[in-house]
Amino acid sequence: MEETLWLMKQHSRQLQDYRKDIRGTWDDEAAKELNSHYLNPHEEDNQDMLKSLQQQQQKLEKAATELIKANEQALEADRRSRQVQHFLELTRQDVNLAYQYYERSREYHAATQAEFPIIERLIKQANLAC
């Protein structure tokens, strides 16, 4: 787009330079009418068009820069998302292990509770023996 914009500016400048060159020799009623109806409005429209194209080019360049930043941020978000997934999996494993330990402790507690009557009976027997 830069080349096109540059080329359009060159053509416009050449046309305006040519108009300046012939202004002194081409100064009749037909020239005045052509200038007022076509060439002067063309020059104004051309300037507006070139200004708009230049603004568009700047905005496109800015958009390209922002797109690069957005892609970099998306890559960073993806990397961090994978980290979160990894830590989430580690947490799930820890929670599963904690549940296993909890179940084992309940089993040990139940086994211990089942032994209390035997322990109490043995203590009574030991006290009677003394």
Q: What are the contacts of 109-112 at 24+ separation with CB within 8 A? A: none
Flag whether pLDDT at 2 surpasses 90.
no
**pLDDT tier, 37 (very low <50, low <70, confident <90, very high otherwise):** confident
Helix (H, G, I), strand (E, B) or coil at 28: coil
Query: Phi-psi region for residue 26, left (φ > 0), alpha (ψ -120 to 50) or beta?
Result: beta
d(CA 91, CA 71): 30
Flag whether pLDDT at 77 surpasses 90.
yes
Concatenated DSSP letters of 86-122: HHHHHHHHHHHHHHHHHHHHHHHHHHHHHHHHHHHHH
Give the alpha-carbon dihedral of 59, 64, 67, 69, to 10 degrees: -100
The residue among 87 and 54 whose pLDDT is bigger is 87
d(CA 123, CA 89): 50
pLDDT at 41: 81
The residue among 25 and 94 whose pLDDT is bigger is 94
Please give the model's pTM, rounded to 2 decimal places.
Answer: 0.53
What DSSP character marks residue 117?
Answer: H
d(CA 70, CA 1): 23
pLDDT at 70: 98
Quick one: tokens of 15? Answer: 């046309």
In the chain, where does DSSP find H-type helix?
2-23, 29-34, 40-129
